[in-house]
Structure 1
Amino acid sequence: MDFDIKTNEKGNLSIGGADAIELTEQYNTPLYVIDEMKIRDNYRRVYEAFSSQYDKFKIFYACKANTNLSVMRILEQEGSSIDAVSPGEIYTALLAGFESERVLFTGNNATDEELKFAVDSGVIINLDSISALKRLSKLTDPEEVKISFRVNPKVGAGHHEHCITGGDLSKFGVMEEEAADVYKLAQDLGFAPIGIHTHIGSGILDPEPFMLAVETLMDVAGRVKDEAGVKFEFIDFGGGLGIPYTPDEKKLDLKTFSKEIVGLFKDKLNEYNMGNPTMFIEPGRYIVGDASVLLTKVNTIKQSYRKFAGVDTGFNTLLRPSMYGSYHHIVVANKPAAENTQKIDIAGNICESGDLFARDRPMPEIEEGDTLAIFNAGAYAFSMSSEYNSRPKTMEILVNDGESEIVRERGTFADVLTNQNVPVRLLKK
């Protein structure tokens, strides 16, 4: 099993050197526990793997995975840049201390207001449509903004159809066959494009589709260079590096993966005489996915037509199992080494039939009062959470060498009602 399940002398799950049960006693549940050193180690592993093959290399963390300011600060300290997909993510990145030149904004169906915000923020703007290009030209002096284009190759991959972002069904990017004309149009409008970008999907553990995307984008970049005379400062292959969610999945062989990707990249640079542009990739999940654990308390054991273990949170806190049918490994935090003796459904507390963390999951004996640890909750977990059923959002804590700190306070009922106004006429009896 590739899951990093550590126990302490008490037999409890250990997260970043902290006792999971003691954390729940101190902070209550549900509770997100973020392991700081796991984030740093993941980032360093990616950076070393690629930069050892090609020194002009940068990581742009795809912050939609997790925008907690402490997570952002950790990655700023590590030297990361930011892939932002909204004005809010630009704002968060700048607030976290990233200089504007370290932020790439890749909008999708961006409004004029969003494009203007990106211009005013001084970030690199990665456009994904001719519409956005034409509208941007009217919002700013083209000579004052750095732009690139997202190209949609006829290649897509990902762990779920909703996560495939390349190919002929995808809403993202400009078509590869129109790329050269789009760059020429940008030049005619007064822009001097500096980069090219693609992103084919997420949760990729097989290098083959990524290799095909690299080959396709480099061929497109070569045509753009030849036909439009663009000298690229960077070529961005997006993100999508996967992590194992199920016990039988293997970790991505990052050394082999990076060697193959960079080798192909270099070959194509030589083939098209493109010089030495900086290589970007945009991992999100790979850096933060396995760095958080969601702790939740079992409050109900119910034998109905099926056997259920009911817990004190639901898809308002971790949506992926309900949205994607995603597997998240679960252990009993107060006895993580216990042998499985049954198959049981792990059910949330949201008033929806689809609110299940697991169906027919092999588990040890579970009792009311036990704490369950749901792994790989660092990416697309809190960032996709909601206050559905008027349940306040949960707390996030950061652990480092056994010490813990609150990095997001637990929500309140007042937070659920924030920004609401009731017309005076409705207050009259």
Structure 2
Amino acid sequence: MDLNIKTNEKNHLTIGGADVCDIVKEFGTPLYVIDENRIRENYQRFYNAFSKYYKDFKVFYACKANTNLAVMSILKDEGCCIDTVSPGEVYTCKKLGFSSDKILFTGNNIKNEEMKFVADEDVVLNIDSMSALKRLAEVINPNGTKISFRVNPMVEAGHHKHCITGGVMAKFGIMETEAVEAYKLAKKLGFNPVGMHSHIGSGILDPEPFKLAIKSTMDIAGKVHKEADIDFEFIDFGGGIGIPYTPDEKLLDIDNFAKENVELFKQKLQEYDMKEPTLYLEPGRYIVGDASVLLVSVNSVKQSYRKFIGTDAGFNTLLRPTMYGSYHHIVLANKMNEDPVEKVDVAGNVCESGDLFARDRFLPKIHEGDILGILNAGAYGFTMASNYNSRPLPAEVLISNGKPILVREEEKFDDLFNKQIIPDHLKN
């Protein structure tokens, strides 16, 4: 089992060396708890694996996975670059002190004013369509502005159909057949196209789909290099590298993953007689996924036609199980030594039938007042949370050297009214 589970002598789950029962006493539940050291370890393991085989390598953390300011500050401290997908993420990065050359922007169906905002911040735009290229030329003066293109490598992978970003059904990227035309037009309009980007999906634990994507992307890059006379400064193969969610999944052998994919990348560079560009990769989940746990309290044990363990969080707090059918391992955090004895459904407190964290999960005997740990909640956990059912967002706590630090305050009821305006004619 590679789920980063640690316990102490009290048989309590620990996160970053801190006892979850002590954390809950201080901060309550539901609560996201983040392990600073785990983030650093994951980043360093990833960076070291690829830089070992290709020196000119950069990690661009896909911050949509988790935009907590403390998390992003940790990665800034590690020297990481940032992959952004919205002007808001660009704004956040700049406020945190990331320099423009450490930010890449990949937009999708983006408005003109948003493109102009990103360009004015001197951040390289990764163009997703011919339409976006032409519209960008209308809102800024190209004048040698560096851009990149996202191509669709016609390779698809991912843990759920909603997470597949390549292939004929994907809305992302330009087609292989229009790639040369896109780069030629960019040069004609006055841009300086310096990069190529692709991304095939999320939750990848096998090097083979990634190798297929590298082969396809490099074939496109080789054709663009030859026919559009482009010497690439960087080639970016996106992210999507997964983590174990179930007990029978193994942590990816990242060294072997890096070795096989870099070897193929180098072969393709030689095949097309291309200069060695900087290699970009955009891990998100791999860096932060297993670094956070969602702690919830059991407020109801209900024997109906099924046995339901009711918690004080719902899909408004952690959406992935409802949206993707995702598995998150659940532990009885205050009694880690107890063995599973019965199948139960672990349910949330949202008024929706689909509000379930687990169905038919084999767990220990659970009582009201117990604490459950929902593991691997660091990627697309809080960042996808909402105020659905008018429930305030939970707090987030960072564990640094064994000590808990509040890094996001729990919302209060009054926060639900922010930015809302009642028209005068409807006021009493």
TM range (shorter): over 0.9
The amino acid across from 1:380 in the alignment is: Y
What is the CA-CA distance between 1:177 and the residue it aligns to? 1.8
List gaps (5 residues or longer) in structure 1: none
Give me the whole-angstrom Cα distance separating, in 1, the residues matched to 2:89 and 2:346. 33
Q: Which residue of 2 aligns with 1:264?
A: 264
Name the SS of the counterpart of 2:345 in structure 1. Answer: strand
- Listed as ranges, the matches of 1:120-199 within 5 Å are 120-199=120-199
Report the residue type matching 2:297 in the other structure.
Answer: K
Is 1:24 aligned with 2:44? no
Residue equivalent to 1:414? 414
Pick which of 329-338 and 19-28 moved more. 329-338
Alignment partners' CA distance in 1, 2:107 and 2:317: 26
Tell me what 1:282 maps to: 282
- What corresponds to 2:66 in structure 1? 66
Q: Map of 1:264-413 to 2, 5 A cutoff? A: 264-413=264-413
Q: Where do 4+ consecutive residues of structure 1 move more than 2 Å?
A: none
**1:145: how far off?**
2.3
Counterpart-to-counterpart distance in 1, 2:415 and 2:146: 39
Counterpart of 1:42 in structure 2 is: 42
CA drift at 1:9: 1.8
Q: CA deviation at 1:153?
A: 1.2
Residue identity opposite 2:354 in structure 1: G
- Paired residue secondary structure (2:260): helix
Number of the residue aligned with 2:5: 5
Write the letter of the residue equivalent to 2:238: G
SS state of the match for residue 360, structure 2?
strand
User: In the aligned structure 2, how far is the partner of 1:399 from the partner of 1:260?
Assistant: 35
Give the residue type in structure 2 aligned to 1:78. Answer: E
Distance in 1 separating the partners of 2:149 and 2:175: 11
Give distance in 1, aligned partners of 2:262 and 2:130: 30
Secondary structure of 2:143 counterpart: helix
For 2:23 and 2:184, the matched residues in 1 are separated by: 57
Return the letter of the residue paired with 1:132: A
**Aligned residue type for 1:179:** A
Q: Give identity over the alignment, percent.
A: 62
Q: Distance in 1 between matches of 2:151 and 2:294?
A: 36
Q: CA deviation at 1:358?
A: 0.2
Q: What is the rounded CA distance, in whole Å, between the counterparts of 1:375 and 1:218 in structure 2? A: 37
Pick which of 224-233 and 248-257 moved more.
248-257
**Is the 2:144–2:190 contact (alpha carbons within 8 Å) kept by the matching residues of 1?**
no
Q: Give the number of equivalent residue pairs.
A: 428
Tell me the CA shift for residue 143 of structure 1.
2.1
Q: Could you tell me which residue of structure 2 aligns to residue 97 of structure 1?
A: 97
Q: Any idea what SS the aligned residue of 2:114 has?
A: helix
In 2: Cα distance, 1:178 partner to 1:250 partner = 39
Aligned letter for 2:33? V
Structure-1 separation of matches of 2:52 and 2:331? 37
Q: Distance in 2 between matches of 1:403 and 1:96?
A: 23
Question: Shift in Å at residue 5 of structure 1?
Answer: 1.2
Aligned partners of 2:201, 2:40: CA distance in 1, in Å?
A: 24
C-alpha distance in 1 between matches for 2:86 and 2:300: 40
**2 CA distance for matches of 1:235 and 1:85?**
17
> Once the two structures are superposed, what CA deviation does each residue of 1:240-265 show, in whole Å capped at 9, x if it has no partner?
00001011111111111100000000
In the alignment, structure 2 segments of 5+ residues that lack a partner are none
Provide, for residues 391-417 of structure 1, a one-character-per-residue CA deviation record: whole Å limited to 9, x for no partner: 000000000221010000001111111
CA distance in 1, matches of 2:422, 2:145: 43
* 1:144 shift after superposition: 4.7
Tell me how far apart the structure 2 counterparts of residues 71 and 59 of structure 1 sit (CA, whole Å): 15
Cα offset for 1:334?
0.5
- 2:116 equivalent in structure 1: 116
Output the CA distance in 2 between the equivalents of 1:188 and 1:146. 13
TM value normalised by structure 1: 0.99
The aligned amino acid for 2:87 is P
What is the rounded CA distance, in whole Å, between the counterparts of 1:336 and 1:318 in structure 2? 22
Q: CA RMSD, aligned part only?
A: 0.7
Letter in 2 for 1:79: G
**What is the identity, as a one-letter code, of the residue corresponding to 2:332?**
V
2:152, 2:199 within 8 Å by CA — same for their partners in 1? yes
Residue identity opposite 1:109 in structure 2: N
Deviations 1:241-290 (A, max 9, x none): 00010111111111111000000001111111111100000000000000
Give distance in 2, aligned partners of 1:290 and 1:97. Answer: 26
